[in-house]
Every structure is written in structure tokens, then in C-alpha cells.
């Protein structure tokens, strides 16, 4: 079985960055929900289930994340510390955000909430993935499936999963709209920008400091390549 994440170097900064990223990810979900202009595919699904069951969207996010994590078992992957934290913290942060954010009606304000939510989602993804404690459960499901079935591309697997959850969420009355399109078009470039910016570089054996220069760029590229974003990415996030 493959263990993802959980490296000891520069632990304090990485932990702070992990939890800051997960909390901001939950805030980004709250902003997009309050905009009422559309959500990313997984949150359309979460919102639909929330409306069906009466549970809060944060609770649904946690339960779905835990169920997705169970699907890692046949893929023979072990979650990292950040993966388990992702399951719990994002849902709690989303509910807290919805409890404090105002309900807005002017269209310009709703646009502002949407844009802030999408950009913050990209920042949050860069923070928590850059901390190198493992991907979120939904991203790990995609990468784990492709690792076990290499004839399928990550792009194809991700598309099938996200189209499926989007369709089911829409049927359950999740909010699909211009925000869904904006997220789909924006999150890739945003993550491409923020993952390298926030990646905590590993320390090479025998060195007393982090790697820099070309080695850091190579390590960052591997992280960005191997961990796609949903959600988020989350994806999330996933």
C-alpha cells in the first residue's frame, strides 16, 4: 500500500499552512454558496444531498469525504495526515462560513462573492497541497484509480467522476450556473499559479535547509503534476 504525505521536515510551517488552507477552502465554499450563482461539481452534489436530507452542507461534505476515503481501500492507498484532516476541517469551516456570511441580493455583490470564492479556492488548494501532507480524498480517488488502471488518463477519470456528481447534484436541486462555468475555467490556471507559490520544499538528505533553485522547481512540478485539483479539487477539494 502507498502512503501519501506525512514527511517530518519543516513540520510547524507545514501544519500551519495545511490548516490555513483547509479553513480557507471551507470559506471559499461558503462564499460561492452565498453568491447563488453556481458551485463546483462536488459542491453541487453536496448541496443537493444537503437539500434532500436536511443535513448541513458541511456535514454532507464530511460524510461524502469519509465515504470516498473508503474507496481508497481497494486501490491500496493509505491516506496522509492532510487527507484525513481535509475530510473534517473543510466541512466544519464551510458550515462556520455560512453561519457568519451575510445573505446578499445585489447582483454586483453576488459576483464579488463568486469571484472571491473561486480565487480563494485556488489559494486554499495551493496552501494545503503545498504543505505536502497528502491530497484530499476526492483527488486521491482519481490518482489512485489511475495508478491501478494506467490505461485510463487522469483527465478522463476526473471528467467522468465530476460530470457524474454534477449531474446527480443538479437532479437533487444543487445550484448549477455561471459560477460552475467560471470555476471550471478558472481553477486550473489558479492552481497552476498557487501550488508552486506555496509549496514547502523538502529537505534533501544530509542538508540542513530546504532545497532551492532547480531542485525546488522539480519538486514543485512533481507535486502539481501528481495531485490534480477538484475541488475542491475539492475539489475539493476536489
For residues 139 and 228, is the Cβ–Cβ distance under 8 A?
yes
pLDDT of residue 50: 98
Instruction: Note the pLDDT of residue 18.
Output: 96
CA angle 198, 161, 87 (to 5 degrees): 50
At residue 8, the pLDDT reads 55
Say what the pLDDT of residue 9 is.
58
Nearest to 14 by CA among 191, 200, 216, 195: 200
| Nearest C-alpha neighbor of 78 from the set 5, 146, 2, 142 | 2
Which pLDDT does position 78 carry in this prediction?
84
Are 203 and 216 in contact, with CB atoms under 8 Å apart?
Answer: no
Helices (H) then strands (E): counts for the chain: 10, 2
pLDDT at 54: 97
Per-residue model confidence as pLDDT tens for the chain (238 residues): 444 444 555 889 999 999 999 999 999 999 999 999 999 999 999 999 999 999 999 999 999 999 999 999 888 888 889 999 999 999 999 999 999 999 999 999 999 999 999 999 999 999 999 999 988 898 888 888 888 888 888 778 888 989 999 999 999 999 999 999 999 999 989 999 999 999 998 876 555 455 555 555 555 445 444 444 443 344 334 4
Q: pLDDT per residue over 134-173, tens digit each?
A: 888 988 888 888 888 888 887 788 889 899 999 999 999 9
Residue 233: what pLDDT? 42
* C-alpha 86: how far from chain center: 8
pLDDT one-digit tens code per residue, 53-74: 999 999 999 999 999 999 998 8
Amino acid at each position: 500500500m502507498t502512503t501519501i504525505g506525512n514527511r517530518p521536515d519543516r513540520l510547524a510551517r507545514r501544519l500551519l499552512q495545511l490548516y490555513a488552507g483547509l479553513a480557507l477552502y471551507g470559506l471559499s465554499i461558503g462564499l460561492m454558496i452565498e453568491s447563488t450563482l453556481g458551485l463546483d461539481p462536488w459542491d453541487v452534489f453536496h448541496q443537493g444531498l444537503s437539500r434532500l436530507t436536511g443535513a448541513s452542507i458541511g456535514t454532507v461534505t464530511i460524510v461524502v469525504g469519509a465515504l470516498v476515503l473508503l474507496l481508497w481501500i481497494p486501490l491500496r492507498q493509505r491516506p496522509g495526515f492532510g487527507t484525513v484532516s481535509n475530510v473534517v476541517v473543510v466541512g466544519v469551516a464551510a458550515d462556520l462560513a455560512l453561519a457568519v456570511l451575510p445573505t446578499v441580493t445585489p447582483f454586483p455583490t453576488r459576483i464579488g462573492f463568486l469571484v472571491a470564492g473561486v480565487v480563494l479556492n485556488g489559494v486554499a488548494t495551493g496552501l494545503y497541497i503545498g504543505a505536502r501532507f497528502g491530497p484530499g480524498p476526492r483527488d486521491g480517488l482519481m490518482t489512485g484509480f489511475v495508478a491501478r488502471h494506467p490505461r485510463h488518463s487522469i483527465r478522463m477519470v476526473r471528467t467522468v467522476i465530476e460530470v457524474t456528481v454534477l449531474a446527480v447534484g443538479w437532479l437533487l436541486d444543487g445550484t448549477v450556473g455561471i459560477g460552475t462555468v467560471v470555476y471550471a475555467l478558472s481553477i486550473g490556471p489558479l492552481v497552476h499559479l498557487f501550488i508552486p507559490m506555496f509549496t514547502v520544499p523538502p529537505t534533501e538528505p544530509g542538508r540542513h535547509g530546504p532545497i532551492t533553485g532547480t531542485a525546488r522547481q522539480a519538486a514543485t512540478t512533481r507535486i502539481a503534476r501528481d495531485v490534480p485539483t477538484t475541488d475542491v479539487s475539492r475539489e475539493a477539494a476536489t
